[in-house]
Structure 1
Amino acid sequence: MSYCCGASRIGLIGTLRQQSILVHHVPLLYCPVCHEVEVHPAIKEEFELVIEYAQEDHVKEATLREEISPDMIAEWKEYCVSFQEDDDVESILREQIDHSLDLLRVSKVLSDTEWGDELKVRLKILTERLKKVEQQKESSKK
């Protein structure tokens, strides 16, 4: 599993800009707390090659994979707790909150107050993001 600032990262397929080149269909790992994004390690070398070829060809946009198979997604899912395949951010945030609550229980059992405090900050951030998503959902229904 991949962690960033103590939170588990979310896997997703997205678009990433690197060196003024926009690359589509890239497996990414995203931290819901600090918003750090990185290319999935299983595909990093291929991504770097696409960037290199695009620079040589003076191309501003490229696609990493024309087709992404369910087997590829299954492999990528093994590296992260959550994998977002659609626009359902709400369920991913709820899953992240549940995971953080489980870790908070562990920190209390271990009497690790520093870790517990870090988890509380993450939970606050995740909860605020969830509230925003819920508000957006409600306002779009009206």
Structure 2
Amino acid sequence: MIYCCGASMIGMVGSLKQKSVKVHQVPLLFCPVCHNVEVHPAAKEQFDLVLEYALEDRVKETSLYEQVDPELMATWKESCFSFQEDDVEAVLREQIDLSLDLLLISKPDQSWANELKNRLRVLSKRLIQLERQKESSL
């Protein structure tokens, strides 16, 4: 599992721009609090190769995979507590629950507890915003 800001990052497949090349269908890890984005370690070597070839060929956009392989997706999901597909609300609720669980065991470590409290504040605000958006669209 990959951690950032005191708890786990969310796995997702998306696009990432590096060195003037936009690479699509990249397995990513995303922190919902600080917005840190990293290429998933399981695909980092392949990503670097695709990026290198694109730079050599002067290609501005490319894809890491023509089609996301279900077996690779399962591998990426294993190292993430959450994997964002369509239901953002479910991911936010899952992250809040996880942070609350971690808060219970973090009491001896005050700095970690403070990071988790900050994470809970941010996640709660995002969940409230999402709920308001849903209500206004009805």
Structural RMSD (CA): 1.1
Rounded Cα–Cα distance in structure 2 between residues aligned with 1:10 and 1:62: 23
In the other structure, the counterpart of 1:101 is 100
TM-score by length of 1: 0.92
- Letter aligned with residue 4 of structure 1: C
In the other structure, the counterpart of 2:126 is 129
Rounded Cα–Cα distance in structure 1 between residues aligned with 2:120 and 2:50: 37
Rounded Cα–Cα distance in structure 1 between residues aligned with 2:58 and 2:67: 23
SS of the aligned residue for 1:28 comes to strand
- Letter aligned with residue 56 of structure 1: E
Q: How many residues align?
A: 138
Rounded Cα–Cα distance in structure 1 between residues aligned with 2:57 and 2:44: 20
Indicate if the aligned counterparts of 2:5 and 2:116 stay in contact, CA closer than 8 A.
no
Rounded Cα–Cα distance in structure 2 between residues aligned with 1:52 and 1:113: 43
Stretches of structure 1 lacking an aligned partner (at least 5 in a row):
none
- How many Å apart are 1:33 and its aligned residue? 0.8
Indicate if the aligned counterparts of 1:11 and 1:83 stay in contact, CA closer than 8 A.
yes
Percent same amino acid among aligned pairs?
64
In the other structure, the counterpart of 1:44 is 44
TM-score by length of 2: 0.95
Rounded Cα–Cα distance in structure 2 between residues aligned with 1:89 and 1:126: 11
